[in-house]
Structure 1
Amino acid sequence: MSEIWPTELRVSSDKKVLSIRFDDGSAYKLTSEMLRVLSPSAEVQGHSPEQRKLMYGKRNVEIMKMEPVGNYAVRIVFDDMHDTGIFSWKYLAELGANKEAKWSEYLNELAEKGLSR
């Protein structure tokens, strides 16, 4: 993806959906649950694919606040106190563009391990 820039970031009134619009015209709605379980943080992703942790039980997580990180990202603070994920504009666009596939992979992995959202 080339350099893209968000023109709008909006959290829904129930704090469960982040709407993001980019200067290329793309727009996505990402749930707080998806953002939390796919957080780019080391807590979730680890420092290698083998260290990645499967997050579960986050169905009701909410976005408490968002803080800008330079001019390239936003830190999302969730109500379960997770606040170490720095979501770059590129990563948010990637999540939006591949939302169905990434969510399906997540649900399949939960099912394989007998865990629930």
Structure 2
Amino acid sequence: MSDEASVRSDDGPGNFVEDAVQADVSAGKHAGRVAVRFPPEPNGFLHLGHAKSICLNFGLAKRFDGTCNLRFDDTNPDTENVDYVESIQRDIAWLGFAWSGEVRYASDYFEQLFDFAV
């Protein structure tokens, strides 16, 4: 069995994203590690598009034995609410996924991002 076939699900062929990740892994890019993230903005409840992104990103991490970080894009405090943060975390778990490590927040990195910019 080829490496490519070993990472595909039993549900059928992969897709162009899986193919691109597999090509990078096979080429040894990033030491063969796969790290992805799901970065929702906590300003509302998730919709179908979010569920698609969750399944793609967490699914890639699972398929390639990688990591998927949950990093909230909390850059607009006027529209954000802790209820949305908690709901998003429950929805990810309901879809059958768990993020790697601690939940991250973009606002935790504002000073570092500012320093990069100047």
What band does the TM-score fall into relative to the shorter chain? under 0.3
Structure with the bigger percentage of helix: 2
- Computing the radius of gyration over CA atoms, which structure comes out larger, 1 or 2? 2
Structure with the bigger percentage of strand: 1
State the TM-score, normalizing by the size of structure 2. 0.21
